[in-house]
Amino acid sequence: LFVYVYDKDSANTVYYLDLKAVNYKIQRKPALIGMSTAILGCAHWDTVIAEDPDRTLDSVVPVAGDKLLVVYIEDTYLYVHHYATGKLLYRIPLGIGTVNQCYGDRDDTEAFFSFNSFLEPPTFYRADFSLVEKTSMV
């Protein structure tokens, strides 16, 4: 699997991939590496979020300028990481269930996600990052 998000501000590209990472990881291709050598040169990319041996990374959405909204399978949290460093900033606790979809944009301060469980029908939630302090909450 090879999913990417182009960072128009720095000309870097952020990839969500399973190359040498069964549970997926997030890597950034520096702007200086051309696309023709990008796949062959993955060893030279920066790892933003390393593979977690205990959980499978399910999806990643860049949001609120400098954040990545990260969903893992078999977990009861949404995670918010710093876009450039991968540092964990916040955990958003959820009940036992499934995050189905995440929507967001780096140019907006809001992100939306759908959550459901056996006891709760699919419900959309809004996370407004402009209301959260800039300091780490972890």
Structure token pair of residue 57: 């990374």
Q: Evaluate if residue 3 carries a pLDDT over 60.
A: no
Question: Measuring CA to CA, how many Å separate 40 from each of 23, 43, 124, 137?
Answer: 20, 8, 40, 37
- DSSP class of residue 52 equals P
Structure letter (DSSP) for residue 35: H
CATH of the domain at 122: 2.130.10.120
Query: Does residue 136 belong to any structural domain of this protein?
Result: no
Q: Say if strands 88-93 and 98-104 run parallel, antiparallel, or are unpaired.
A: unpaired
DSSP H helices in 10-112: 35-38
In a domain, 53, yes or no: yes
The domain of 29 spans 2-131
pLDDT in tens, 83-138: 888 899 888 888 888 888 888 888 888 889 898 888 889 999 998 888 876 544 44
- pLDDT of 42 higher than 70: no
Task: Say how many domains are in the chain.
Answer: 1
Residue found by looking up tokens 């964990």 in the block: 88
Question: Tens digits of per-residue pLDDT, 61-92?
Answer: 888 888 888 888 776 778 888 888 889 988 88
